[in-house]
Amino acid sequence: MSEPGVVPAVARALRTFAAGRFDVERIRQDFPILRRQIRGCALTYLDNAATTQKPQAVLDALTNYYVSANANVHRGVHHLSEVATEAHEAARGKVRRFFNASSVKEIVFTRNSTEGINLVAQSFGRWRVQKGDEVLITAMEHHSNIVPWQLLCEERGAHLKVAPIDDSGALMLDEFEALLTPRTKLASVTHMSNALGTVNPIADIVARAHARGIPVLVDGSQAAYHMPVDVRALGCDFYVATGHKLYGPTGIGVLYGRESLLAEMPPFLGGGDMIRSVTFEKSTWNDLPYKFEAGTPDIAGAIGLGAAIDYIAQVGLQHVAEHERDLLDYGTALLGDIPGLRMIGTAKHKASILSFVLDGIHPHDIGTIVDQDGVAIRTGHHCAQPVMDRFCVPATARASLAMYNTRADLETLARAIRRVQAVFR
């Protein structure tokens, strides 16, 4: 096995994208599930904000690992353990490059974004947040970036502050800034809203917080597969992402943390691999990033994520962003022509999400009926109940885009929505 995780499908992708041309039809061929029929119709997959489909390169990397390299990492002296460790650490290196972190010490593998945020809340939070202190979030956060802070604040006697959003779903930056006080110990902000599509001006937010010495965590769960992310250019202190939205497997996520902070933070989970030495009296901690990786990691998941990142890098996130921008504009115009449809989330800076409601029709009915045409969208509160409350709706229907979607997908969606309306007429 020359380089675990790098398999023929990636090599093919390399040739496909060598010319720098974005060819959506060619990309679609790399995703086997897109050939599926659903209820006799071609699958129109528009639930990417929930999870993306996986290219053959990722599927091959997972199989290849289990077929030819499966062993536990970091503690074996035998050949397979060395191969598995090398592949696992190679994946960490790919993640580092993908986010432009300074060092692999700053890349902690987690289960998902949710775990990354909980890690920071429990480790940084318990270390830095005291009674009467404040944590600042925004009104557009996913529950994953609300509840861990509620738990922390409740435990520490601290206050959770929430910066408002306007009627388009954009963050009210001046109000955000006004909520930064000498008691604010951390600001935790989404890069892109999963319910609205709003993209936040992270570099600006970080600059305003840092001017007051306040560290910033960025929830990159949505942004990381739609646009290039450079944690050094953004200047943030923590950035979390989740593998299954990055065209990778479930069960693997990433926490980027500034080395100087991670070095000072206490461990999150205790167990094997995160220690340097253990006696019944006292344990000492392993070097970064292993201090935060207790127990056997998701080795296959990390290797699969590495393959996904290779794949994304070959396509080029800049090309993906341009393609999805075209689709978002096209989809917004198509859905805008449907009488009785109201878009929720119309911020000037938004990406890849079409969240909407239809007069007199519950979103669950929309989702169920369009499914009859093979159209997969998400309906509900999208784990963002405060966003639903802000817009006075119980739920929305949400179509969300990925690199393999086409204008034809959006036309199919628009036809299916009109059929929903016909059913209720």
Ligand X SMILES: Cc1ncc(COP(=O)(O)O)c(C=O)c1O
CA-based torsion, 385, 389, 394, 397: positive or negative:
negative
Stretch of residues binding ligand X (CB under 6 A), selected from 74-82, 142-150, 269-277, 293-301:
142-150
Residue number, 69 or 196, with CB nearest to ligand X: 196
Q: How far is the CB of 106 from ligand X (least distance, A)?
A: 20
Query: Pairing state of beta strands 238-242 and 216-219?
Result: parallel
> Is residue 52 a contact point for ligand X (CB under 6 A)?
no
Among positions 52, 85, 221, 286, the unique one binding ligand X when judged by CB under 6 A: 221
The verdict on whether 41 is a catalytic residue reads no
Among positions 47, 60, 134, 219, the unique one binding ligand X when judged by CB under 6 A: 219
Stretch of residues binding ligand X (CB under 6 A), selected from 25-33, 84-92, 219-227, 388-396:
219-227
Q: How far is the CB of 303 from ligand X (least distance, A)?
A: 18
> Is residue 110 a contact point for ligand X (CB under 6 A)?
no
Residue number, 225 or 356, with CB nearest to ligand X: 225
> Is residue 142 a contact point for ligand X (CB under 6 A)?
yes
Stretch of residues binding ligand X (CB under 6 A), selected from 27-35, 108-116, 149-157, 392-400:
108-116
Q: How far is the CB of 222 from ligand X (least distance, A)?
A: 5
Stretch of residues binding ligand X (CB under 6 A), selected from 18-26, 126-134, 137-145, 312-320:
137-145
CA-based torsion, 13, 19, 20, 25: positive or negative:
negative
> Is residue 118 a contact point for ligand X (CB under 6 A)?
no
> Is residue 405 a contact point for ligand X (CB under 6 A)?
no
In the window 160-199, what residues touch ligand X (CB under 6 A)?
A: 190, 194
Active site residues: 383
Residues that bind ligand X (CB under 6 A): 49, 112-114, 142, 144-145, 190, 194, 219, 221-222, 242
